Every structure is written in C-alpha cells, then in structure tokens.
Structure 1
Amino acid sequence: MVVVTWRGREHIGACLDALETQKSPHRTIIVDNASDDGTAALIRGYEVLRLDRNRGYAGGLAAVLDLVRTPYVAWLNDDAEPDPTWLSELETALEDDPTAAAATSSMLLADGSTQSSGVALTADGYGKDMVLAGREVFGFCGGAALVRTSELRRAGGVPASFFCYYEDTDTSWRLRLNGSRVISVGPARVRHRHGASTRLGSALFHRWNERNRLLMLLRCAPLFVALRELGRFAVITSLLPFRKNVPQAANFRVGLRLRVLGEVLVRLPVTMVQRWRIGWRASVSRKVVWRDWGGR
C-alpha cells in the first residue's frame, strides 16, 4: 500500500484511520514529498519514505517502487478513505482474473455520487473518468487502484517526470501495450475529498494536464495521433489571440499553452527514446490499442 502525501495534515489522518480498518493484511508505506505543514508529526510511527523535495504524485510513486516486495501494489490518494473491504475486493478481482494487470475502484464524492470507476480514452487522447463500474475499462484511476507489481515493472514503472496527472492513464496504456487488461471493481469503494490535495482548475492543474497528455501520446499512441494532437494544440494556441469570446479557463491562456509547448519540445528527445523502449517491450501494437479504446 503506497500513500503519497504533500502537506496532507488536514486529511491524511482520515485516510490512515480507514487503512487501519482494512480486512486484508497489508504493509503501508507513506511517501512524504517534503511536507512542511506538520504532516511529518502525524505520520510518525508509520513506515515513511521522506523525499528531499516535492516530486509530485508520480515522482513519489516512482521513488517507492523499489521498496515494494509484494505481488500487488496499491496506489491511494492521501485524501481518500477506503471502505474496510476495499483492498480485499481489489485483490480478489485480480486473483480471479490473471489477464488483468490492474483493478480500479469506485471513487465516491462526499455526496455519494461516483467520481470515477475507471478511465476512458477520448478521441483526442484525453483521459476521462467513467462512472459505470463492474466492467473492463481502458485504464485505472490512480487515486485508488491495485496493480500487479511485476506487470508494473515490466511496463517500465511510473513516469516520474509527469509530476502529477496522467501517470495513471500513461501506465494503463503501457500495460495494455504489454497485453494486459484493466478491470473496474464496483464493490471496492473509496470516499474521495476531490481537490483536497491540489487546486482543481488552477494554472498548474491545466499545465500538468495538457503537458502530460501530449507527452503520454508521444510515448504511447500511434504516431499519427500524437503528431495530430500536438499540431492541433499548437494551431489553437496560435489562433487564440485573434479569437473573440475566449473561455476564461486557464488552459486557454496563451502564455500557459506556450509554456506547455516549450516543455514538451524540450523533453521531445528523451520522450522519443522512451517511445522506442515502450514499443520494443510491447506485444500489442499501438494501432490496435487505439482502435479498440480511442474514443470508446
């Protein structure tokens, strides 16, 4: 069980209390991203990997992977509270389905509505939360999921440089390229304080989302899809100064979009090497995965 936290003083206690009630035996490792708000005092007594700086959710997961010796590794947000049977439901699902490399949970909001029961892949390569549980899905939501450790390592681990967002969709894509499936487990329920750990809608939120989507496509998608979406992003950015009634959302700010493009271009050489390695490991072609899941 891996819980990544950063300045989680206000909510990590409820998460850890819920983990204490789990029916399934487990080892909990907390990755503390150099919190400076008193979180360290709250998690004293647990097994903690304290990082020297904030490496984000993706970086925290990547940093701890070498310490995991169990067949499965659970990812859990520090603002999530799992039901007592959450972990056992996920374990049973993977034990009953050897072709599945990951199982995703039913993430519920405070009002009881479903935030996510898995991730779909849109026609333009965005990851989108699904709300229909109990079926095969394209990908898992990294806020509460269980992954086969061996398959995660075989797929190349967690993309630490993503920092935050799309590390789960990118990982799911690589698992599928390796011939594995992802399943949604309805009875594995988690209450999620959505947005407690990050500021949804902020400039950073949109920067990470847009950048990491493009990097994920360059790593995992058919090349024509990746280049199409990169080109579309660049064209929209160039036309925004000439448009009227531009939406106020941060992802329509020209400066933010130019920064995204700059970060993608700077990382392009390394990303293309990663693309080659992912393709070399793959047993299923990128075109097949896109045909089966893109826009479904």
Structure 2
Amino acid sequence: MDERAQEDKAKPGGPAITVCVIAYNSGPTLRTCLAHLAAQSFTDFEALIIDNASPDPGDRAIAREFPAMRLIENTANLGFSGAGNQAAREGRGRWLVFLNPDAFAQPDWLAELVAASRRHPTVRSFTSRQLMDEDPTLLDGLGDVMSGYGIPYRGGYLSKCPEVIPEGEVFSPCGAAMMIDRALFLEQGGFDEFFFCYSEDVDLGYRLQLAGEPTILAPKAVIRHVGSASSGGRKSEFAVFHGTRNRFYGVYKDTPWPLLPIVLPLHLLGVIYISSRRENRPHAPIVWRAFKASLRGLPTILKSRREVQARRKVSALAIARAMTWNPKDLTGRRPVIRRVRPTRLGEP
C-alpha cells in the first residue's frame, strides 16, 4: 500500500489534515492568519477556529468572514491546552495541525509539512521554521530545545536566519505551527489541561521523547510569527507567571528519575540567575509567585508524573542525549537540530 493510500485509509470520509486556530482576543492578526491559511496550495484540510470565550466579539466576527472554516464558540476559556484537546476530538483529519492566530503561513506551508511526512513515513510529529513577522530575517524558532537546566527555549530565537537549515530532529515541536498524527496526540493524552497555556507543547514533546517518538523540523515549512499577541506580550504578567509555573511543572512531571536530582537544582539556579538580571528584576515577584503556585500544584503533577514515567519506553540516557548540556546553547538560544536516527526510526 503506497503512502497516499495509507493516509486515505486513516481518514475514511475525512480530510488529510485538521488545522486548529485557537483565538482569544486575537484582533487583526486573526484575519491575517486565516487569510494566509485560506491561500494554502495544499487544500485537503479542514480548519477549526476555536473562539475561547473571547470577551471581545471581534474574533468571532472575523472568523465568520471565512465561511469555509468551522467556528466553534466556547462559553468558557479552556486555555490553549483545553481548546487543543477539543480540536483533536472534533477534527476528522489523520494529521492535527496547530497554528497560532498571530502566525502567518507561507502558501506552501501545509504542502511542505505533508512532504516532510512522506519523506519520513515512520515519524508522527513535525514542526516548522518560524520567522519574526516584524523582521523576517530573524528567527522566531527552529523547534524547541530542552536544556540540562530544564529550561526550554525556541531554537535560534532572535538570531539571523541561516541560508541553509538542515531537516532533522529537535526536542519538541512549537505549538505555534506544528503537525502531529492525531491518533498519537490522543494516545499521549493530548495537552495537559492543568498547564492551561504556555509550555504545554514542550510537555507534549517531552512525553513524545519518553515514548520514543521523535519530532522533525521541516525547515521549508515556514510561518511568520508575531508572538504573544493574545496574552499581552512576551513579558506580560500573564506570560511570565504561566511560563515560569509551567516550566516547573514540566521539570517535576517529565524528567526521568535518574536525571531529576541533577535537573531540578540546575533549574532552580537557572531561574534565580535569569530573575536576577537587571532587565528581569521587575518580574521577580511574579516568578516567586509562580514558583509557589508550582508547589501547590505538586499533588496533581506528581499523579501525572507517575502515569507518564510508567509509560516511558526509552532510557534516561537517551533523554539526556536529546537535551543540550552546553550552557552557551541556552544563553545564546542556539538551535539544536540532530541527524535523523535510522536505528530509532527504521528508515534507511
């Protein structure tokens, strides 16, 4: 059976792809996002626009300008995690694609993701090349990197976009523009709704690593990203609180036991160092509040940890190798893209 027939068998009566755009007070970026999505050269997809109970009715009005796309109006804000899981349940495609409402896809974006999936038929998770919308010569990210400090970052963030970018494995996909096999997403339990938003994609990617499921960067699949448009900016109180708390959640939950006594102290030291830098000092009270919130959430997270670690299929050493332990990678936000491993993926 050829690859296209396999895809058709996996989606009886449905499209190849379900694209999910989760909107919350997204404003004008949503219109631009949907216009770029409607202009895709690959057309075998359905689009779900999930309005997460935006107080501003403008998002719903914008979504209705695209009648070919299905608008789902939530009565409560489920966060990115809850709405993402909702999309997995509602969608009919074999592949589930997440696109931020402030991300603008090039016309061949979906086509390139599909092409990457055909080049790597045993891989079920892919991520995109993200450029800064304000300056497309700069990277917004080349997949997510996990440092030995337990601090994830978008590879290459704010650095010059190189002319040649290899297609290879990264630690985890960035939820702003990722594609995952919907069955795999559901098997892994989807996004952890306890995170609400921020780092839920890294948590999912970490669980994929623990399950032996790689993520591949498809550098020809390109989007331009504004970033944090719905949450008031990259360093808003909301973003700092949820980002900090959820990074602690990720360390508590996903780090295999042999690594935990190493990573947790390094994470604490890393957070203290970052918070002590002059530009971050105004956020120190928010970081402290987020740390205390992470401790209050420990009973729930530890229950999740037991479930996640019980399903782990790879060694702690394999996880350590998938991380970067070079502190210069973290401070310089260097991308870490590794060669696709044939012995792991069964590819020639």
- Per the TM superposition, whether the score is higher than 0.5 is yes
Shift of 1:231: 5.0
Residue in structure 1 matched with residue 288 of structure 2 by the alignment: 258
**How far apart, in 2, do the equivalents of 1:294 and 1:249 lie?**
24
1:96 to 119, 124, 132: 119
For structure 1, which segment, 154-163 or 173-182, has the greater mean C-alpha deviation from structure 2 after superposition?
154-163
Residue in structure 1 matched with residue 244 of structure 2 by the alignment: 210
1:249 to 268, 280, 284: 280
Residue 45 of structure 2 aligns to a residue whose secondary structure is coil
Residue in structure 2 matched with residue 32 of structure 1 by the alignment: 51
Scaled by the length of structure 1, what TM-score is found?
0.89
**How far apart, in 1, do the equivalents of 2:273 and 2:230 lie?**
34
C-alpha spacing 1:185/1:211, structure 2 compared with 1 (3 Å): same
Render the CA deviation track for 1:73-121: whole Å, top value 9, x for unaligned: 0010001110111011111212321332211111111321221111111
C-alpha spacing 1:178/1:77, structure 2 compared with 1 (3 Å): same
C-alpha spacing 1:248/1:106, structure 2 compared with 1 (3 Å): closer
Give the % identical residues. Answer: 26
**How far apart, in 1, do the equivalents of 2:118 and 2:83 lie?**
27
Counterpart residue type for residue 280 of structure 2: A
CA contact (8 A) 1:61 1:160 kept: no
Render the CA deviation track for 1:126-173: whole Å, top value 9, x for unaligned: 112123552211111110011111111122211122122111111111
Superposition RMSD in Å: 2.5
Render the CA deviation track for 1:201-256: whole Å, top value 9, x for unaligned: 1222111111111111111112364455555666799999xx9x763426752x32
**How far apart, in 1, do the equivalents of 2:124 and 2:205 lie?**
9
Unaligned stretches of 5+ residues in structure 1: none
Scaled by the length of structure 2, what TM-score is found?
0.77
The yes-or-no answer on 1:128 pairing with 2:153 is yes
Counterpart residue type for residue 282 of structure 1: R
Render the CA deviation track for 1:43-84: whole Å, top value 9, x for unaligned: 123312222222222222122221122211001000111011
The yes-or-no answer on 1:20 pairing with 2:50 is no
C-alpha spacing 1:29/1:251, structure 2 compared with 1 (3 Å): farther
Unaligned stretches of 5+ residues in structure 2: 1-18, 157-164, 326-335, 337-348
Residue in structure 2 matched with residue 5 of structure 1 by the alignment: 23
1:116 to 141, 163, 166: 141
How many aligned positions are there? 292
Residue in structure 1 matched with residue 15 of structure 2 by the alignment: none
Shift of 1:288: 2.4
**How far apart, in 2, do the equivalents of 1:211 and 1:157 lie?**
19
CA contact (8 A) 1:33 1:54 kept: yes
**How far apart, in 2, do the equivalents of 1:259 and 1:228 lie?**
24
CA contact (8 A) 1:206 1:250 kept: no
Structure 1 moving runs of 4+ over 3 Å: 223-240
Residue in structure 2 matched with residue 142 of structure 1 by the alignment: 175
